[in-house]
Amino acid sequence: MQQNFKSSYNVHVVRILLTFVGMIIVGSLLRSLLLPSEFGDYGHYRPGAVTEEANREMRNKTNDSCLDCHYFVKKIHLKGVHEVVSCEVCHGAYSDHVKDGKVIGEMPVYRGEEIKSLCLRCHNKIIRARPPESIKMIAMPEHLEEKNVRTDHVCNQCHHVHAPYKWIKEAREMMGLPEKWEGGSSWKK
């Protein structure tokens, strides 16, 4: 194997090492170019993400926001036990309804049997897990039988959905039976 070689005995090793160093340099250059701005200033993350999350659109507002316009509902809703029930849970998110001060969509209003199933979502006695001190529960159709009404009645024929005792209290007042009710002018029990 005695012959003359053009390259030196270790040139391939040197070239590999140079390639390696070159790759590290290119790699670190690329890294500094591609790294998101301010990354790592507060921790191992992009601070911009905090601002983006903070600026997310608020889709649900509060009952106050809804009742600001719907003041006739306000007069009823805030006087009854259902004042704690959120408008948007039954009627959908505020931002689907109003945008930049303009009405952009109609919100669902439940009727008939839909109302019944909505009521029973909370007031159904057969779901035993409910703490009785938090909520009044009834069984269907026993409740209707007990009240001597037809069993095909839906809830809002007797109970105003926004203030469940409103009509009942008014009826009792008309018939001169107000003593069972406390709370003065409100329709809370």
Partner 1 sequence: MEEITKIKKEIDLDRRGFIKKVLSGAIGGSLLLVMPATAREIAEQIPGMKEQTDLFIADKKFAFVVDITGCIGCGSCCIADKNEYQVPDGHYRTWVERYIIDDHDEVYVDSPNGGLDGYTEPRDDIKNPIRDTFFAPKLCNMCENPSCVQVCPVGATFRTEDGFILVDDKRCVGCSYCVQACPYSVRFINPVKHTAEKCTWCYHRVRQGMLPACVNVCPVHARKFGDLNDKSSEVYKLLHEPHVISVLKPDMGNKPSLHYLGLRREVI
Partner 2 sequence: MHEILATASGALGYVFPNDLHVHWSLMIVLYPYITGIVAGAFIVSSLYHVFHIKALKPLAKFSLLFAFAFLACATLPLMMHLGQPGRAMSMFLTPNPSSAMAGFGYIYTAYAFVLALEIFFIYRVHLVKRRQETTGWQHAMYTVFSMASDNLSERSLKLDRKIISFLAAIGIPMACVLHGYVGFIFGGVKANPLWATPLMPVIFLLSACVSGIAGIIVAYFLLRKIAGKSIDMDCVRTSIKFLWGFFIVDFTFEMLEIFSHGYMATAHWHTLHELLWGPLFNSYWVWQVMILSVIPFLLLGYVSIRKVSDSLLRIIAPVASVMILLQVLLMRWNVVIGGQLMSKSQRGSVDFQPHWFEKEGIFLSMVIMVLPIIILYVMGKVFPFWHDDNQSEV
- What residues make contact with partner 1 under the rule CB under 8 A? 36, 39, 42-47, 49-62, 64-65, 68-73, 75-76, 84-86, 88-89, 92-93, 98, 100-103, 109, 111, 117, 120-122, 124, 126-131, 134-135, 160, 167
* Least Å from the CB of residue 91 to partner 1: 10
Environment class of 16 (CB within 10 Å of its CB; exposed 0-12, middle 13-18, buried 19+): exposed
Cα 96 from Cα 60, distance rounded (Å): 9
Site for partner 2, rule CB under 8 A: 1, 5-13, 15-16, 20, 27, 31, 34-36, 39-40, 44
Q: Toward partner 1, which CB reaches closer, 131 or 184? A: 131
Strand locations in 46-160 (E): 98-99, 102-103
* Least Å from the CB of residue 48 to partner 2: 13
What, of partner 2, partner 1, none, does residue 11 touch, CB below 5 to 8 Å by kind?
A: partner 2
Q: Toward partner 2, which CB reaches closer, 7 or 185? A: 7
Give long-range contacts, CB 8 A cutoff, 24+ apart: 114-121: 115/154, 115/155, 115/156, 115/161, 116/140, 116/154, 116/155, 118/90, 119/155, 119/159, 119/161
What, of partner 1, partner 2, none, does residue 176 touch, CB below 5 to 8 Å by kind?
A: none
